[in-house]
Chains A and B, each alone.
Chain A
Amino acid sequence: MKKNDEFYVSYIDRSLGPKTKTTLKRFSIIALATIVIGALLFSFFQKPFKNSTFELTSATNITGTYYEKPYPMLRVEVAENTFKNILLLGFGKSSANPYLEKLQKEVKDLNGKNVSIEGNLIYYNGKTLIQITDDEKVILESSSKKRLPEKEVISKMTLTGEIIDPKCYFGVMKPGKGKIHRSCAVRCVSGGIPPVLATTDKNNISEYFLITDLNGKPINKDILEYIGKPSEITGIVEKMEDWSIIKIQVSDIRELDKKSSIY
């Protein structure tokens, strides 16, 4: 041990000698410098975030045609004869279904009926989703049946991408994909949020596929172990206006041993 004749005792006045004082000052300065350098490095070298948005504090009212297959959505006319299909989600990590139940009981079959919903919008890269927080804010506007979006079968395809939970990916969380976010995405899909396959091609154009089983039924719990990892998926691709759908067999998902390349 280095010799130091000074002996500091907290309760003895003036026992803090000049050598000890200098050491303490130096230590404090180095510690504060470490704090500053640490803050600069950890903050500056974060990867850029996407410009996805979640309107947590403001509510928006949307009106459109409700349908439940493959997942609950609202088909909203945004301009004449141009439709946007808005994915409906529940509060937190949950499905929209419990929030629709009340109205569904009253109306029997809500499919094709005009419904207005007030909730928080989530949007990114052309896709819009809405979080419903209260079943009182789901209102039947008219009982006359409207046309549902048409599905067009494209072909059987093998796609590379990552299975994400669309709620976080399209706005609630940053980053809403990959390893960091994985257990959250698992919770969301497990809670009833539809799994989505996100792909990005060479030109950085992304496409999003709602994932269903071969019969077009929702998949949730069965797909959990594949979420948030780069994978290769083979299935039948359909186009449904502004969304794509891929019908798969969970056993046809192949994990890829590489870095996530979705964007």
Chain B
Amino acid sequence: MGLNYQLVLWNNHKKTYDKLIVLGMLLYIILFAVVTLVFNSETSIETLVIRAFGSLAIIMLHIILVIGPLARLNSAFLPILYNRRHLGVSMFIAAFIHGGFSMFQFHALGDVNPIYSIFISNMDYGSLTDFPFQVLGFLALLILFVMASTSHDFFLGNLSAKTWKRLHMMVYAAYALIIAHVFLGAFQQETSPFTIGILVFGFILVSSLHLITAFKEGHIDTAKTEEKEGWLKVCDISEIEEDRAKIFTVEKERIAIFKYDGKLSAIHNVCKHQGGPLGEGKIIDGCITCPWHGYQYLPANGQSPPPFTEKVATYELKLDGKTVYINPKAFEEGTEVNPCKI
């Protein structure tokens, strides 16, 4: 992995991606403003800003949420996943403008602290239709803030991939809060079948894509296997393509078994970067390459080639005729294991 080389090309794709994000956001705000000023010119600027950025943020959030399952269903979507964090941070900025303007407009210049005011102005916590919906938006914004500010790779190094992943799973909590924020808030007063319809459609799309993905991946995890003296039967050798892997699950841990250069090697399936599925990767220049952002690991010892220092667990394999067997006991991360000769 030539470091400089990586930076240059990363920038080229990133630029197109970022340009698209900025273009999309500008297009949204301009369209929203023009339509509002033409058809509803008595609006106030603050309301225009609050509504334009709030609705932009929720639409962006939907786009972000469909990318994950799409990329798992079809690897051609992976390059979008690859730079999803920029989309995430831009969405946070839109949400922050919405929330910030709302906080200023509705809670500042009063007799108590604006943040305290969000929680205590409307005390109908027991009612559904009168629920203090701004509290939900505020909590969602906090989650988005934590996510946006820890999206840098710096935090990946300091937080462990698992913690980071858990943190970023909170996006679903934020999504739920935001849906409740809109349905218990704006939609109680600004009821229109079209805006309600678009969010209901979005919700159905996001949840069904996630369910389909979970269902498909569930199959990997529930495949039955035979045990023989501590070795588990994986598959026939012909089921693994050259330079690719088969994912095999033992006690909820996924293992990627790669075939390359007349050899077989097995490593833990989870990439140390952001938990990408290494078993959906490919051997490039002798290295297992993660499909998400291209982190690399040597198949024989699960270590990233120098100067990188990531390590994943390795496993022992054996062949009996044409059948591949695995010893499900993981070795320490980065342990050298002799590849199994075919």
Distance (Å) between the CB of A59 and the closest chain B CB?
Answer: 18
User: What is the interface size of chain B, counting residues whose CB is below 8 A from a CB of the partner?
Assistant: 80
Closest CB-CB distance, A244 to chain B, in whole Å? 26
Pairwise interchain contact A183-B294, C-beta atoms closer than 8 A: no
A186→B79 CA distance, assembly (Å): 48
CB of B76 within 8 A of CB of A175, answer: no
Binary interface encoding of chain A residues 172-193 relative to chain B, with 1 for a CB under 8 A from any of its CBs, else 0? 0111001111111011101110
Task: Tell whether, in the assembled complex, residue A93 and residue B28 are in contact, meaning their CB atoms are under 8 Å apart.
Answer: no
Contact status A183-B106, CB under 8 Å: yes
| Chain A positions within 8 Å of B52 at CB level | 42-43
Complex interface: stretch among B39-47, B261-269, B333-341? B39-47
Q: How far is the CA of A191 from the CA of B117 in the complex (A)?
A: 12
Chain A proximity of B71: nearest CB distance (Å): 9
B10-40 to A contact mask, C-beta < 8 Å, 1/0: 1001000000100110011101110110011
**Is the C-beta of A126 less than 8 angstroms from some C-beta in chain B?**
no
B36 surroundings in chain A (CB, below 8 A): 43, 46
Interface residues of B (CB under 8 A from A): 1-2, 5-6, 9-10, 13, 20, 23-24, 27-29, 31-33, 35-36, 39-40, 42-44, 46-47, 51-52, 55-56, 59, 62-63, 70, 72-80, 82, 105-112, 117-118, 121-124, 129-130, 132-134, 185-186, 188-190, 192, 194-195, 198, 216, 280-282, 284, 289, 291, 293-294
Q: Which residues of the partner chain A approach B82 to less than 8 Å between Cβ atoms?
A: 8, 10
Q: How far is the CA of A192 from the CA of B112 in the complex (A)?
A: 12
* Cβ B46 vs Cβ A10 within 8 A: no
Query: In the complex, what residue of chain B is closest to A53 when comparing beta carbons?
Result: B42
Please name 15 further chain A to chain B contacts, defined as beta carbons within 8 Å, in addition to the given A183-B132, A187-B106, sorted by A numbering: A1-B280, A4-B74, A32-B20, A32-B27, A34-B62, A40-B31, A42-B52, A45-B190, A93-B111, A174-B43, A179-B188, A180-B186, A182-B130, A225-B124, A229-B130
Residues of B within 8 A of A180 (CB): 185-186, 188-190
The 10 closest A-B pairs by CB, nearest first: A92-B109, A183-B121, A11-B6, A45-B192, A23-B76, A39-B31, A43-B35, A184-B106, A93-B110, A187-B110
A77 to B32, CA, bound (A): 43
How many A-B contacts are there with CB distance less than 8 Å? 211
Interface flag for A50 (CB, 8 Å): yes
Cβ-based interface call for A6 (8 A)? yes
Residue from A40, A47, A192, A225 within 8 A of B35 (CB atoms): A40
Spot the interface stretch: A13-21, A65-73, A140-148, A197-205.
Answer: A13-21
User: Contacts A174-B43, A183-B134, A187-B110 given: A36-B27 contact, CB under 8 Å?
Assistant: yes
**Interface pair A16/B79, CB less than 8 Å apart:** yes
Report yes or no: A179 in contact with B9, Cβ–Cβ below 8 A: no
Contact (Cβ within 8 A) B40 A49: yes
Which residue of the partner chain A has the closest CB to B31?
A: A39
Closest to A13 in B: B9
The answer to whether B190 touches A7 (Cβ under 8 A) is: no
Contact status A47-B42, CB under 8 Å: no
Contact partner, B109, options A7, A91, A229, Cβ 8 Å: A91
Give A28 to B139 CA distance when docked, in angstroms: 30
Query: Are A34 and B75 touching (Cβ within 8 A)?
Result: no
Closest to B87 in A: A31
Q: Among B36, B40, B122, which residue has the most Cβ atoms of chain A within 10 A?
A: B122
Bound CA–CA A142/B268 (angstroms):
88
A residues less than 8 Å from B109 (CB atoms): 91-94
Q: Evaluate contact between B74 and A49: CB separation under 8 angstroms.
A: no
Instruction: Select from chain A the residue with minimum beta-carbon distance to B121.
Output: A183
Confirm or deny: A153 has a beta carbon within 8 angstroms of a beta carbon on chain B. no
Query: Given the known A-B contacts A8-B79, A174-B42, A186-B121, are A39 and B35 also in contact in the complex, defined by CB atoms under 8 Å?
Result: yes
Q: Which interface residue of A1, A16, A225 has the most chain B CB atoms within 10 A?
A: A1
Indicate if the CB atoms of B10 and A38 lie closer than 8 Å.
no
Query: Are A179 and B31 neighbours in the complex by a CB distance under 8 Å?
Result: no
* A51 lies within 8 A of chain B by Cβ: yes
Contacts of B132 in A (CB 8 A): 183
Closest CB-CB distance, A10 to chain B, in whole Å? 5
Q: A85 to B195, alpha carbons, bound, how many Å?
A: 42
Closest to A26 in B: B76
User: What's the minimum C-beta distance from A119 to chain B, rounded to whole angstroms?
Assistant: 15
The closest CB in chain B to the CB of A180 belongs to: B189
Do A7 and B289 contact each other (CB < 8 Å), given the known contacts A41-B198, A180-B186, A187-B117? yes
In the bound assembly, the distance between CA atoms of A44 and B59 in angstroms comes to: 16
